[in-house]
Amino acid sequence: MSSFVSGRIYTEGSFIEGYVEFDKGVITEVSEGSHRGKSLSEGLVIPFLSSCHTHIGDACLRGKVDGPYHLDALMRPPKGRKHVLLSQQCDADMIKGMEAAIDEMRYFGVGRFVDFREGGLKGLLLFKQAVSDRSYPIPLVLSRPEEPMYSEEEVDALLDGSDGIGISAVRDWPYDQLSLLCSHVRGKGKMLAMHASEGVREDISKVLELRPDFLVHMSSATEDDLNACKGARVPIVVCPRSNAVFGIRLDIAMMIDAGIDVCLGTDNAMLNSMSVIDEMRAAHASRANSRPLEMLEVFKLAVDNPRKVLNDKGVITIRAGNPCEFMVLKAGTGNSPEELLSPKTDYTIELVSRGSRIWKSEPWRESKGS
């Protein structure tokens, strides 16, 4: 017997007022207007969100790093304070921190995440232990060599256990070694991504020569750099809250206006929550944008555009014939998308539909997604 939820529904890149009917884990109808039956839940109906850049291995450092924060002093490998502190953590604490970060993403309605997994083969093994009994959210893991030097044997082993390679930045590697690494990754048909032009501008021609599938940050890029990315069809993942921590201005509007597919990530788990909704709010409210972002533009950053980064792997939209993978939220007094994007508005996830199962908020928080 079919069920339905109703309210403001995000479907096909816009919102409609109507209902979503589903049966046995499949969406059967998405329509405007009212339904004659009794709705399971009413509110803001949106797909699960995607966080296209995370470092969940940092979660064990929450509360252990004091500000003020300087980007290179804290983050740049191998001597950045983050890396020094991570080297002092035991495996059990690392795993526990990653598990907590995964659970937190689920609490916040994140369905898929892309993690830049540091620490070489050992770091990848710890990640696999953390996700082993958590079926949701679904990870795409990009591993990284332990040192900025190319080793065919190490890269083969990393790629056997991961979806690809995610490096820190071009400037952290000898370029000849990085070229060998990137050629190896492409030869295996795996994903290649890298940080670029975060705190300082980097030579975009050198970056794009490596043929990355996507770039992270590009907050210090010029308009010409963005046009080059557009020409190469390279998406960009931005992390507004992380950039704000370091006092970096991020003009997302300029990226969108350049025709780039822009996505959101929550970045370092030690600095921010794993909430993509909070990332959406930061993007929407940022005064660094050259023009205000429209509400639908912000939703596309977290729902539609990640398909370009994830290569359409399992990205679910609310459409008849698709598997159920959506949530119903209460936001403010009117359950409107505008209220959800307001930093002053509280929101709650009231109902979750994933596959053939339905959860209320608290059981979903405890479910581990299975």
- 48 DSSP 8-state letter: P
Numbers of helices and strands, H then E, in the chain: 15, 16
Strands (DSSP E) contained in 117-224 are 138-143, 164-169, 191-196, 214-217
The percent of residues in the chain predicted with pLDDT above 90, rounded, is: 86
Of the pLDDT bands very low, low, confident and very high (cuts 50, 70, 90), residue 78 is confident
d(CA 240, CA 326): 25
How far, in Å, CA of 84 to CA of 78, rounded?
8
Confidence band (pLDDT; 50, 70, 90) for 187?
very high
Distance CA 112, CA 136 (A): 8
The count of residues in the chain is 370
The confidence score (pLDDT) of residue 269 equals 95
Q: pLDDT tens, 317-367?
A: 899 999 999 999 999 999 999 999 999 999 999 999 999 999 998 888 888
Enumerate long-range contacts of 124-130, CB under 8 Å, 24 or more apart.
124/158, 124/161, 124/162, 125/161, 126/57, 126/91, 126/94, 126/95, 126/98, 127/56, 127/57, 127/98, 128/161, 129/95, 130/56, 130/95, 130/98, 130/99, 130/102
Structure confidence by residue, pLDDT tens digits, 104-130: 999 999 999 999 999 999 999 999 999
Dist CA 370 CA 368 (whole Å): 6
From the list 261, 368, 278, 331, the residue with the least C-alpha distance to 42 is 331
Domains in the chain and their CATH numbers?
3-47+316-366 (2.30.40.10), 49-310 (3.20.20.140)
CB within 8 Å of 282: residues ≥ 6 apart: 240, 241, 244
Residue 80: Cβ-neighbour burial (10 angstroms; 0-12, 13-18, 19+): middle
What torsion do the CA atoms of 137, 21, 364, 268 make, to the nearest 10 degrees? 30
- What's residue 61's pLDDT? 94
313, pLDDT greater than 70: no
Question: What is the reported pLDDT for 314?
Answer: 63
What's the whole-number mean pLDDT along residues 205-223? 98
Q: Reply yes or no on whether the pLDDT at 157 is more than 80.
A: yes
Ranking 2-6, 293-297, 311-315 by mean pLDDT, the lowest is: 311-315
